[in-house]
Structure 1
Amino acid sequence: MKRRKPAYRARLDQDKAWERLNVLNMSQNELARRIGRSQGFVSELFNGRRYAAGETRRRMVAALGVARFEDLFILEEYGE
């Protein structure tokens, strides 16, 4: 049986994200406004109940002023 390629999803690194919010003196509400998402969506990202898709990740990286994807997100393998 042929083995599938592993699939990955990006989980927000909560500690790093909180650190950036604190440095920027920004609330989750302000972050949500800047990335065009609801506060509830952002809260679920911070609590690990949701995973960010490509455009949301790019907007978060820009809004929080980090240089690299890895500065905010952790790739997790999922599936079979």
Structure 2
Amino acid sequence: MSDMPIDEMSFEAAMRELEQVVGQLERGDVELEKSIALYERGAQLKKRCEDKLKEAEEKVAAITLDGDGSPKGLTPVEGM
């Protein structure tokens, strides 16, 4: 697992670590206390990935297109 705080991770870094966490939990060879800690970390990583995806969706939705499909400007997204 990474020492980087989850709230500083990129989507890709959080997803990679989440995959590692899931892999460890699926193997079932982790002690109970570590399993609980892994599950909690996994839940935080999942939330980070969801938040980053939502942020990206909002940015894409803010792009407006003109008649020929070319971006004609950006509409500010609240909180960005």
TM bucket by the smaller chain? Answer: under 0.3
Q: Highest relative contact order (Cα 8 Å, sep 6+), 1 or 2?
A: 1
Higher strand share: 1
Calculate the TM-score normalised by the size of structure 2. Answer: 0.25
